[in-house]
Amino acid sequence: MKVTIIGTGYVGLVTGACFAEVGNDVLCLDLDQAKVRTLEEGGLPIFEPGLLEIVGRNRAAGRLQFTTDVERAVRFGTVQCIAVGTPPGEDGAADLQHVLAAARGVGRHMTEYRVVVNKSTVPVGTAEKVRGTISAELGKRGVELPFAVVSNPEFLKEGAAVEDFMRPDRVVVGADDPQAVKIMRSLYAPFQRNHDRFFLMDARSAELTKYAANAMLATRISFMNELANLAELLGADVEQVRKGIGADPRIGYHFLGSCFPKDVKALIRTAGEAGGALPVLEAVERVNSGQKRVLARKILARFGGKLSGRRIAVWGLAFKPNTDDLREAPSRALIEELLANGATVSAYDPVAMPAAKSAFAALAGIRYADSPLAALDGADALAVVTEWQEFRSPDFRAVRERLKTPAIFDGRNLYDPEEMKRWGLEYHPIGRAATKAED
């Protein structure tokens, strides 16, 4: 099958590469010439484990191509997947300008039946807007051509996106056009050979399913964030509590971590526009937003509320391991807070430093180290923000020797408090009692 992917960001590139991997002919469209040039030269604009190999393999086989030519892209694929960004506006609503621009491009250049698939995370009702936009463009041309609009949200975890796409736990499709449904079933058949995970529903329900899933996950982590704060007040250990409640199969251990603020805000906005309210999610947003400031508050408290002249080492900049994505990353709030209070920052991340240099370009007082231990040189304390594997078992003797103050502020609870005490390190975790170094 011929498939066009509109947008070569995180969702678009993974989607295009994985469709090509099972034998489809895929053409990825992006208006960013520099990004397309990078892809044609064998590079990637994002980091995702396994993606470079799949892209390279399918480019070499001729199944995966890239272009900036809108007309060529629209005329290439029977399936047109829209996978462009929907950044939040100031009011929290998803910005659909790129989605609707993609729809206009399809309407201007299509010459035969097309299945237009919304893979971007979009508010409920976007399928109708896309349909109306395409119809308007066809009207301007004075032609009538058949097409269908389908909602097919992605449920990929950054850092495991290729695996998630190749072995999905669900394929949600919102469609009412029989021909489009048949095409979508055929497109996803190679990914569900052993079990049928194809969930067919109306487009509005499919759009809401994506937001509901992310909102539920955000609610779980906000609950754990509140328990962590309470555990500190009560002298309990939230890691033990996490194990105790996670053993209940109705709760489970998965996703007692991470948050989805953009989608929570957009869903709250959608409810308001429909005349409803989501007080639980409003509370979720407040809790998860406030939690990003906890590590900075601990550091400030340890140094008497004064950080002027202090240097803080930061391990981890990406919002989670195995990605270079800094959107909503806790490191952003921490670094901004540290700098605002007079500190300087020495940062290290195994993948995300190029993205960080761009994101923090306007901020003075940050330097980037070549290794985790190099980040500690001249630092007064260490803040662990992302749970990369290489941070899990560092040389604690070297950590202690390099830090001016042997203090670790662990935002991911990676280390055993008793072990930190034996190594002569102060340890300040989340939701657990802080420990002092043994003399």
Six-digit token string for 55: 């892209």
> Cα–Cα distance between 322 and 158 in angstroms, integer?
7
Q: Which residue has the tokens 């190029």?
A: 354
Instruction: Give CA separation, 128 vs 71, 87, 100, 175, 251, in Å.
Output: 23, 20, 11, 11, 36
What pLDDT sits at residue 172? 97
Packing angle, helices 51-60 and 10-21, rounded to 10: 50
What pLDDT sits at residue 90? 59
Is the sign of the CA dihedral 88, 94, 99, 104 positive or negative? Answer: negative
What pLDDT sits at residue 253? 66
Backbone angles phi, psi at 274, to 5 degrees: -90, 5
Q: Are 409 and 384 in contact (CB under 8 A)?
A: yes
Q: In what order do the strands lie in the sheet with 407-410?
A: 366-368, 344-348, 311-315, 381-384, 407-410, 426-428
> Cα–Cα distance between 30 and 17 in angstroms, integer?
14
**Which residues in the chain show pLDDT less than 50?**
256-259
Q: Which residue has the tokens 């001729």?
A: 62
Q: Which residue has the tokens 């406030």?
A: 290
Active-site annotation holder among 18, 28, 81, 259: 259
pLDDT in tens, 218-243: 888 888 888 888 888 889 998 899 88
Query: 3-class SS at 273?
Result: helix
Q: Name the pTM for this structure.
A: 0.83
> Cα–Cα distance between 370 and 377 in angstroms, integer?
11
**Residue 433 amino acid letter:** A
DSSP string, 72-108: HHHHH-SEEEE-----B-TTS-B--HHHHHHHHHHHH
DSSP string, 99-136: HHHHHHHHHHH--S-EEEEE-S---TTHHHHHHHHHHH
Q: What is the DSSP letter of 437?
A: P
Q: Which residue has the tokens 């900036």?
A: 68
Residue 81 falls in the annotated catalytic set = no
pLDDT in tens, 372-417: 999 999 999 999 999 999 999 999 999 999 999 999 999 999 999 9
What pLDDT sits at residue 91? 64
What pLDDT sits at residue 260? 65
What pLDDT sits at residue 256? 43
Strands (E), 203-330: 311-315
Packing angle, helices 261-273 and 203-234, rounded to 10: 120
What pLDDT sits at residue 84? 94
